[in-house]
Amino acid sequence: MAYDVEKPDEQWRAELSPAEYAVLRQAGTEPAFTGEYTHTTTPGTYACRACGAELFHSETKFASHCGWPSFHDPRHTDAVELIEDRSHGMVRTEVRCAGCGSHLGHVFEGEGYPTPTDQRYCINSISLTLSPESGED
C-alpha cells in the first residue's frame, strides 16, 4: 500500500528513538504497564508519533486493564489500516497508521468489554502522541 508519508528507512531511524523505531517500524511491542498513556485520562486527541496523523480521541479510550492504552474506535474510519497478523503462532489483526504504515498495536473483538463496538484497539503508548484539549470551544 502507498502511504501519504513515506520515508527511507535511514530517515525513520534518524527521526525516531531506538524504542520508537522498534515498535513503529519493526512491529515491536512495548512492555505491558510501562507506556506513558496506559492510565491517562486527559481529554484530547492521540496522533501517530511517526507522522502526526490523528488516530484516536480520548472519548473512545477505556480502562481495559490489559497493560496498554485501549480504545473502542478510531477517530476516523480511515485513520487506521487493519492487516491480518499470523506472527507468534496466532491469528490477530494488526493496526497500522493509514498515513505512514507504522505499527500501532492490535485490535480484538468479542472480549465482552462494555463498549459500543465490542472492540479493543490495544495500542502501544510509544506509537502515540497526546494533544490535550485546551478546554476552549
C-alpha cell at 17: 528513538
For residues 96 and 79, what is the distance between their CA atoms, to the nearest angstrom? Answer: 9
Domain encompassing residue 79 = 9-132
Does residue 78 sit within a domain?
Answer: yes
Percent of the chain at pLDDT > 70 equals 98
For residues 64 and 72, what is the distance between their CA atoms, to the nearest angstrom? Answer: 10
pLDDT surpassing 90 at residue 96 = yes
**For 125-135, what is each residue's pLDDT tens digit?**
999 999 999 86
For residue 119, the domain's CATH number is: 2.170.150.20
Does residue 123 sit within a domain?
Answer: yes
pLDDT at 89: 87
Q: What's the whole-model pTM score?
A: 0.92
Does the annotation mark 122 as catalytic? yes
Does residue 3 sit within a domain?
Answer: no
Does residue 27 sit within a domain?
Answer: yes
For residues 115 and 71, what is the distance between their CA atoms, to the nearest angstrom? Answer: 9
**For 10-59, what is each residue's pLDDT tens digit?**
999 999 999 999 999 999 999 999 999 999 999 999 999 999 999 999 99
Does residue 1 sit within a domain?
Answer: no
Does residue 137 sit within a domain?
Answer: no
Would you call 19 helix, strand, or coil by DSSP? helix
Which member of 48, 51, 100, 122 is catalytic?
122
* Domain count for the chain: 1
pLDDT surpassing 90 at residue 1 = no
Which residue pairs, CB below 8 angstroms and at least 24 apart, start in 2-11?
A: 3/98, 3/99, 3/100, 3/101, 4/51, 4/53, 4/99, 4/100, 5/50, 5/51, 5/53, 5/99, 5/100, 6/100, 6/101, 7/100
Does residue 118 sit within a domain?
Answer: yes
pLDDT at 134: 81
Does residue 16 sit within a domain?
Answer: yes
C-alpha cell at 51: 507522522
For residues 70 and 41, what is the distance between their CA atoms, to the nearest angstrom? Answer: 11
